[in-house]
Copies of this chain bind each other. A is one copy, B any other.
Amino acid sequence: MVAALAADAASKSDATGFRSVDPNNLVLIDTKYGEVAVELAPQFAPKHIERLRALVRAHFYDGKSFYRVVDGFVAQGGAGEGTASTGGTKHDELTKKWPPLKAEFDAPIGGAFTPLGSPDLFAPEVGHIDGFPVARDRKDGRMWLIHCPGTFAFARDNGPDTATTEFYIVIGAAPRRLDRDLTAFGRVISGMQYLQKLQRGDPDVDNGVIQKTTKPDPILRMRIAADVPESERPSFAVLRTDTPAFEKVKEERRHPTSPFYFRKPPPVLDVCLVPVKVRKVK
């Protein structure tokens, strides 16, 4: 399946080295500040993505909220009360309909991986697959999505196999300590600035869950782009990361040539700080 995905991506990339985002893997989140677009990476967590699509199509998220928002860390959305990650009385009812998922913290190595070419403190090897920041361990043959700004993942309770319906998106500096400890399977390709406007919670109170006195911002609607009529469906293209064009982007970050850099910075590259260009096609 991974090979098929890679071939598909290649066939859809145009001469400029951009790859069209498959509308089946594009989640649109309407907030009151604007539309957020998340691209899913099915090879990393197929069962979670199946669940997410089912939840979106059941309108589970519509009208729910971003109820836990910690500045510089994450925005968490979903039902809030009664879920595995927050507990509460509605827990049983919810998990009957949406049973806990088996963790998909990592996946078998596969896909068109391009090494970053710089060392990393958290993983034996890091790089990109289709624009997603990926870490790998060849010793056990596993790979996983890295927690960078914009990473989309499912929240869980303390047990590894407890994710049900709640998602979070990284809105601050990369919390790499969460890598391979939660199931991450997407990244925001447009609209980060709208997530940054979300009402915050107090990180010292209930882990940043927004308390009753303040109203959390709603999730107005969530859709899979493939379900949106083609005439109004937004469409994106992402720079391919297995190309000489992307090597140039990395090289310019690693060894900036701009005269602005009076002192040349150490030739270090942070996998979360390499911009992977996204174009809104329509």
Contacts and interface: CB of A to CB of B under 8 A. Distances in A.
Contact of A265 (B177, B192, B200, B259): B177
Interface stretch (A59-67, A93-101, A168-176): A168-176
B149 A263 contact: no
Given A173-B272, A196-B71, A265 B181 contact: yes
A229 interface: no
A266 B121 contact: yes
A180 B263 contact: yes
A138 B261 CA distance: 22
Interface in A254-282: 256, 259-263, 265-266, 268, 270, 272-273
Contact of A105 (B122, B159, B263, B273): B263
B175 A273 contact: yes
A122 B263 contact: no
A200 B173 CA distance: 18
Given A119-B121, A149-B173, A268-B122, A262 B193 contact: no
Nearest to A175: B273
A213 interface: no
A253 interface: yes
Given A71-B192, A193-B200, A263 B181 contact: yes
A104 interface: no
A193 to B, nearest CB: 5
A160 interface: yes
B174 A173 contact: yes
B192 A72 contact: yes
Given A72-B149, A122-B268, A172-B173, 10 more contacts: A71-B192, A72-B192, A121-B268, A122-B265, A149-B172, A173-B272, A176-B268, A177-B265, A181-B260, A181-B265
27 contacts: A71-B192, A71-B193, A71-B196, A103-B262, A121-B266, A121-B268, A122-B265, A123-B266, A149-B172, A158-B259, A159-B262, A172-B173, A173-B173, A173-B272, A175-B273, A176-B268, A177-B253, A177-B256, A177-B265, A177-B268, A178-B265, A179-B265, A180-B263, A181-B265, A193-B200, A196-B197, A197-B197
Interface of A: 71-72, 103, 105, 119, 121-123, 148-149, 158-160, 172-181, 192-193, 196-197, 200, 253, 256, 259-263, 265-266, 268, 270, 272-273
